[in-house]
Structure 1
């Protein structure tokens, strides 16, 4: 079996049919599908069972109580028998020839990881990630130096998803139990990608857009919960430990992204809560030792000026000014139709 397509499912009845149809239409057929119904309370479970019955020769269905996306994905990994794992979130979709394109590249390179572009458009246009710098380092077959990819993971958000990749199964830490992370809602991808890049030897990039990443406002990544701060600290602290192993000189850049993750939380609080509630949450976020360490040890060179201004307000404790600045800035961006509004407002 070449590929195991892993699909964790939870309450996505509106999007799941399109996701499953994109699997059904794959032109390359040497694959299995692992569906994990993570305790869905809508019709998602019934859709999974129907799909599994229809394709019983290639679909495995795991039913479990709701344990969250991370442990649903780990349950799928445990059941996988393919040489490569392809993660597909249940509100997203694959281009019809996605597995065929990846398989062709694997025949050419025998890579441990093949990463392909995603788009927020169902037409599979306009790549979501900016891979220009990475692609400039690629050889004619698309192979990227491992150190370059590790640096990208440590210093940006351009390589930290489980989806958008075909990963050799032996590079995944299947032997590690993730049960201690049950309930973690933010950063689960990064938690699992870092060990992959610690084990992988050959990484290849494909510039083709093969994955449709849907903007789903109901997804957990859009939640504003204080537990997000704990999740950020858990995941980002693990990443810092990899930085110490791979390239300690990049720690200031890791700290910069740590601070920016807290900034993102504060931005959502400022834009989605009333004044009293948002100022209380922002104060809590900025009083954490995690944020104080990050802001004091960070190198913000190359970061957009608007982020540096916002972080200065947070560092100084000027929370009311920060809130006013954010609401003014994002009010203007909303008029311009900026995509940043989707994330923070």
Structure 2
């Protein structure tokens, strides 16, 4: 493989005129120059098509594709994968900002490590341009990234750079459970096939909080599908059967708690996940417990913000290793 392989950047666009120039500028100004920039206009009704055509005149690395009908995000992404010629494929959204060295550093990481996909850290940027600290993970290498997927989606979708061959063989799913959760569904599916995904522990993208984005307008459906996909992922990977209401606890999904779970049920299931992971991945049990406890600290914050009346009960249960019990009891009493 050459030292500077072609990277295809897939940038789906739908009514993205407001932030599109900033997103495009951040890609064409990358320090890594060997790029193919695939901008797919998915039936926009604003000035997105005109902006794209103007940028084609500025940079011959840009290819603009106009969908004849609105295919939506998943089918548009799969179309981009089919059109890509690069050794690697990078994701980018039309309202985000890639920092200048993003792709250069990701390509170097892929070449120096035996992985199939790499994501990065990201900070948040508001519609007005205010930047705040985004999500970080403590353990960024495989197989600890695999273990994270039993609790969260640790890979930020628009930061991803992957081998083209992997994505061509494993397209985004068009099944109903993938809607607004297409990234997590794909990452967990390819992880179960033995591919390796890691995280480059550096902020290389600004992730836009956009009130008009599709994901912002479909939060509950996104959470419900995340719960279903997480349940499927744990069951298939560890060959155990967790119930959807337990998966709902892990994903902070109040609408998914359908039946009573005892405290022993919750503790036993978390211990099964940890023990099964040790067996399957041959990794340090203490680190897996630390990741689990970190997730439970997120539950503590969730509990403080949403159920202050139950603070005394939480203080009592904090002595228990698995703080998920306290979260469930607070939910059950509502």
Same fold by TM-score greater than 0.5: yes
8 Å contact kept, 1:154–1:253: no
Q: Deviations over 1:107-136 (max 9, x none)?
A: 32242122211111499986512212x14x
Q: CA deviation at 1:193?
A: 2.0
Task: Pick closer, same or farther for the CA change 1:314–1:258 going to 2, 3 Å.
Answer: closer
Query: Secondary structure at the residue paired with 1:107?
Result: helix
Q: CA deviation at 1:155?
A: 1.0
Q: CA deviation at 1:249?
A: 5.9
Provide the residue aligned with 1:323 in structure 2: none
Task: Pick closer, same or farther for the CA change 1:311–1:71 going to 2, 3 Å.
Answer: farther
8 Å contact kept, 1:172–1:195: no
Provide the residue aligned with 1:237 in structure 2: 228
Provide the residue aligned with 2:237 in structure 1: 246
Query: Secondary structure at the residue paired with 2:258?
Result: helix
Q: CA deviation at 1:310?
A: 7.0
- Within 5 Å, give how 1:1-345 maps onto structure 2: 1-121=5-125, 127-132=133-138, 134-135=139-140, 144-146=141-143, 148-159=144-155, 161-172=156-167, 174=169, 176=171, 178-181=173-176, 186-199=180-193, 201-223=195-217, 228-229=220-221, 232-248=223-239, 251=242, 255-257=246-248, 260-263=251-254, 285=255, 290-292=256-258, 302=296, 303-304=299-300, 305-306=303-304, 312=329, 314-316=331-333, 318=334
Task: Pick closer, same or farther for the CA change 1:64–1:162 going to 2, 3 Å.
Answer: farther
Question: Which runs of 5 or more residues in structure 2 are unaligned?
Answer: 271-292, 307-323
Measure, in 2, the Cα distance between the counterparts of 1:201 and 1:90.
Answer: 28
Q: CA deviation at 1:174?
A: 4.2
Q: Deviations over 1:195-224 (max 9, x none)?
A: 232345443432221111011111122226
Measure, in 2, the Cα distance between the counterparts of 1:104 and 1:47.
Answer: 32
Q: CA deviation at 1:47?
A: 1.4
Paired residues, number: 277
Q: Deviations over 1:73-112 (max 9, x none)?
A: 2221221121222111110011111111112222322421
TM-score of the superposed pair, with normalisation by structure 1: 0.68
Q: CA deviation at 1:10?
A: 0.9
Query: Secondary structure at the residue paired with 1:221?
Result: coil
8 Å contact kept, 2:249–2:328: no
Measure, in 1, the Cα distance between the counterparts of 2:160 and 2:261.
Answer: 32
Q: CA deviation at 1:7?
A: 0.7
Task: Pick closer, same or farther for the CA change 1:58–1:13 going to 2, 3 Å.
Answer: closer
Task: Pick closer, same or farther for the CA change 1:76–1:176 going to 2, 3 Å.
Answer: closer
Query: Secondary structure at the residue paired with 2:202?
Result: strand
Q: CA deviation at 1:65?
A: 1.8
Measure, in 2, the Cα distance between the counterparts of 1:151 and 1:177.
Answer: 21
TM-score of the superposed pair, with normalisation by structure 2: 0.70
Task: Pick closer, same or farther for the CA change 1:61–1:254 going to 2, 3 Å.
Answer: farther
Question: Which runs of 5 or more residues in structure 1 are unaligned?
Answer: 136-143, 264-284, 319-345
